[in-house]
Amino acid sequence: MFLDIEKHNETGITIDNCKVGDSVTVSGMIHNVRVTKWGGFIVLRKSRGLLQAVVSNDTSRFFDEQGQEIHMNDLCREMAITIVGTVGEAKIKDPAAFYNTIEIAVAEVRVLSRPTTADVVDMNALKFGDEETLLRYKFDNRQVTLRNPRDMAILKVQSTIAKAFADFLTENGFTQIYTPKIVSEGAEGGANVFRMDYFGKQVYLAQSPQFYKQIGVGVYERVFEIAPAYRAEKHATSRHLNEYISLDVEMGFIKGQEDVMLLEAALLRHIIATVAERCGHELNLLGATMPKLPNEVPAWKLSEVHEILFENKLCEADHRGEDDLAPEEERAICKYALEKYGSDFVFVTHFPSEHRAFYAMDDPEDPTLTLSFDLLMRGLEITSGGQRIHKEADYREKMLRRGMNPDAFRFYLDTFRNGMPPHGGFAIGLERITACFLGINNVKECSMFPRDINRVAP
């Protein structure tokens, strides 16, 4: 058998480039079907959203998988079908209808396959009940509830964010790399690593590609990765996942952490513009508005944030002197920045050295602090980053000061023994930034199959 590639590439008229009066053949899944005295409606689910088809008792015919003629009453939700018909003008009010200016006058429906259960998961159940019950139902039946237009829209926006991330970096001289997720040591230290047996040896699931993307800087100068990361944190909150997608960036020959912050601001500006341009339907369906990112993004030291919030009485508690931001501070400083500077984003810098990873460069002016930052968006941290140590002697000194064994990180330190440029980078949680873009309260809704302390299936 030979495949005719040129023939395969003949697209002809499709539903995406059709005009009123065209004859089309379109396939999809039945999202809903409604029978009336004169015929009825079939709502077809396509990759971008819903398409309405109108049935007439006089002109529409239906056939099963064997080609036997059937009745419209034999159709049901989640059947895979092909519709042959004519494009007509319409005004569809359902916000889930991506094709909201046209409909298909059905001449013929061919059933391709059908569900084998009469108890098909009810998409309408996703509209009712309290949030906890709704989410449990949604995640228990995730392989089917992902077909809901709202959930489709969330992941469509997420896909666009990831592509815009990769496109911008590639166009600006970055090379995409792929790093191991089975590692001998945790990059972030601490106990929040997943241990596993690897042919009789204890290894870990990677918390971060930090070591490897720094190694990549010595090769390509500028690198990025889009890949899973794993944190064995026993959080049961709407903000955390134990497996998430990390958007990682590392760049060489920087003058300071400000270069990294400026890169991220430019990157985010591109992502925002791309999502606004390509995901108008999804944003409308989800009732989402794009975040505001001015040319000058507010950037304050951690100590300054504590003072701003205390002096303006924006938090109930006095957090001055604390070594991190409390959740109420994250929300308050973002609200303050939006009202005063028109920015949904805030950089917070100079976190205490003892509470940052060992590879964070200490501030020469105050070694108790690091040249590191968090980026907050709409009250939630979406990024951690900063300048890294790039000299072997500085690594050894800091490791020993922390009671770490440099020999356990020999492969990593060999990178710096062989010379490295000044460098820095950051990581964005894809699920978190998606949730922040779309105003979604629970980050788990932005994961195709969320993994937390209570769920490993489906």
Contact residues for 305 (Cβ-Cβ < 8 A; gap 6+): 325, 329, 333, 348
Give me the domain span that covers residue 78: 5-113
pLDDT digits 0-9 by tens, 380-432: 999 999 999 999 999 999 999 999 999 989 999 999 999 999 999 999 999 99
Count of CA atoms in the C-beta half-sphere (13 A) of 423: 26
Residues 97 and 188 in one domain: no
pTM: 0.94
- Asked if pLDDT for residue 56 goes beyond 60, the answer is yes
Residues 81 and 201 in one domain: no
Strand partners, 84: 25, 108
Provide the 10 A C-beta neighbour count for residue 247.
23
Contact residues for 162 (Cβ-Cβ < 8 A; gap 6+): 226, 245, 247, 430
> What is the pLDDT averaged over residues 88-117?
96
Residues 101 and 185 in one domain: no
Domain boundary among 95, 113, 131: 113
User: Which stretch of DSSP H or E encloses residue 48?
Assistant: none
> Predicted confidence band at 86 (pLDDT cuts at 50, 70, 90)?
very high
- Asked if pLDDT for residue 334 goes beyond 60, the answer is yes
CATH number assigned to the domain comprising residue 162: 3.30.930.10
> What is the pLDDT averaged over residues 440-452?
96
Dist. CA 137–CA 145, nearest whole Å: 9
The dihedral built from the CA positions of residue 318, 322, 327 and 330, taken in this order, carries a sign that is positive
- Asked if pLDDT for residue 188 goes beyond 70, the answer is no
Structure token pair of residue 308? 């701003």
Residues 283 and 166 in one domain: yes
> What is the pLDDT averaged over residues 23-40?
96
- Asked if pLDDT for residue 189 goes beyond 70, the answer is no
Q: How many domains, in total, are found in the chain? A: 2
Q: Is 39 helix (H, G, I), strand (E, B) or coil?
A: strand
